[in-house]
């Protein structure tokens, strides 16, 4: 199983970074001069640390032969540029949420009007739009409780025990589902109340295949012909 990741991204800030040259980005990351520009982090959630992203950005720039120092990032057509754009999108994120893709069949699919055909569906903007709309008609505790009850029902249908004495992982797993579903509710609520854009991807996915808003990264910043 791989992790699916959600970020809430300040698109205006990201567009401004995309207009910078590679050398300007490199200097800013070396000097840590962009830290004050990051969106305010959600105090109840996790996101990538400044120093970690700065290091990853500089590592890509230093190791990529196809990134000229004067090249404007949104015009760069290389794979390294795509990875750099993704890192900068994470820089512009106020929150990151992640979980195993298999768990989204429990957290997201029951709220949709149609069945999910596979994990790739969880990269589709329309899935998250419909999910967010469904959550807008619920409160956090009701949603989280529905997730836990659904999980319990599925276990019982498979003949699995719900007795903690027989399976010591029952209570930790239940608490994990409760915590993750509540934090997912919070992310989607923040999305609806803000001007941030949802960015969706997963581990080992090519940078160009991540989604921001309704566009793939490969389409969001096309190099000139």
Is residue 225 domain-resident? no
Residue 64 buriedness (CB in 10 A; 0-12 / 13-18 / 19+): middle
**Angle 89-72-94 from CA coordinates, rounded to 5°:** 15
Give domain status of residue 184, yes or no. yes
Count CB atoms within 10 A of the CB of residue 32. Answer: 11
Residue 223's pLDDT is what?
44
Q: How far is CA 82 from the centre of its chain?
A: 16
Which residue range is the domain that position 166 belongs to? 3-220
Structural domain includes residue 145: yes
Let me know if residue 57 belongs to a domain.
yes
As a whole number of angstroms, the distance between CA 198 and CA 78 comes to: 24
How many domains does the chain divide into? 1
Of the chain, the end-to-end C-alpha distance in Å amounts to 38
Q: What is the pLDDT of residue 66?
A: 63
Tokens of 115: 């069945």
Sign of CA dihedral 191, 196, 202, 205: positive
pLDDT of residue 224: 42
Question: What pLDDT, on the 0 to 100 scale, is given for residue 80?
Answer: 80
Task: Tell me, yes or no, whether 47 lies in a domain.
Answer: yes
- Say if CB 128 and CB 192 are below 8 A apart: no
Query: Nearest Cα to 70, choosing from 114, 21, 27?
Result: 21
The per-residue pLDDT for 225 is 40
What pLDDT, on a 0 to 100 scale, did the predictor assign at position 221? 64
* 225 residues of the chain, pLDDT tens digit each: 789 999 999 999 999 998 888 889 999 999 999 999 999 998 888 899 999 999 999 998 888 766 666 767 766 667 788 899 999 999 999 999 999 999 999 999 999 998 999 999 999 999 999 999 999 999 999 999 999 999 999 988 888 877 887 888 889 999 999 999 999 999 999 999 999 999 999 999 999 999 999 998 888 765 444
CA distance linking residue 201 with residue 178, whole number of Å: 23
pLDDT at 65: 66
DSSP bridge partners of 95: 8
In a domain, 123, yes or no: yes
């Amino acid at each position: 199983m791989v992790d699916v990741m959600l970020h809430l991204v300040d698109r205006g800030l990201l567009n401004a970074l995309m207009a910078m040259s590679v050398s300007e980005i490199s200097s800013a990351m070396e000097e840590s001069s962009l830290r004050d520009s990051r969106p305010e982090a959600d105090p109840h959630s996790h996101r990538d640390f400044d120093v970690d992203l700065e290091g990853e950005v500089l590592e890509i720039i230093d190791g990529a032969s196809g990134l000229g120092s004067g090249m404007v990032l949104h015009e760069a057509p290389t794979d390294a540029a795509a990875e750099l754009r993704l890192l900068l999108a994470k820089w512009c994120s106020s929150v990151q949420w992640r979980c195993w893709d298999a768990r989204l069949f429990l957290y997201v699919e029951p709220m949709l009007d149609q069945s999910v055909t596979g994990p790739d569906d969880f990269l589709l903007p329309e899935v998250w739009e419909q999910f967010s709309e469904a959550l807008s008609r619920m409160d956090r505790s009701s949603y989280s409780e529905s997730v836990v009850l659904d999980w319990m029902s599925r276990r019982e249908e498979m003949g699995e025990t719900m007795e903690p004495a027989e399976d010591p992982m029952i209570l930790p797993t239940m608490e994990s589902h409760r915590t993750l579903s509540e934090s997912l509710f919070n992310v989607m609520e923040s999305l609806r109340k803000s001007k941030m854009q949802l960015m969706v991807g997963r581990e080992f996915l090519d940078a160009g295949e991540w989604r921001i808003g309704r566009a793939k990264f490969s389409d969001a910043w096309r190099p000139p012909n």
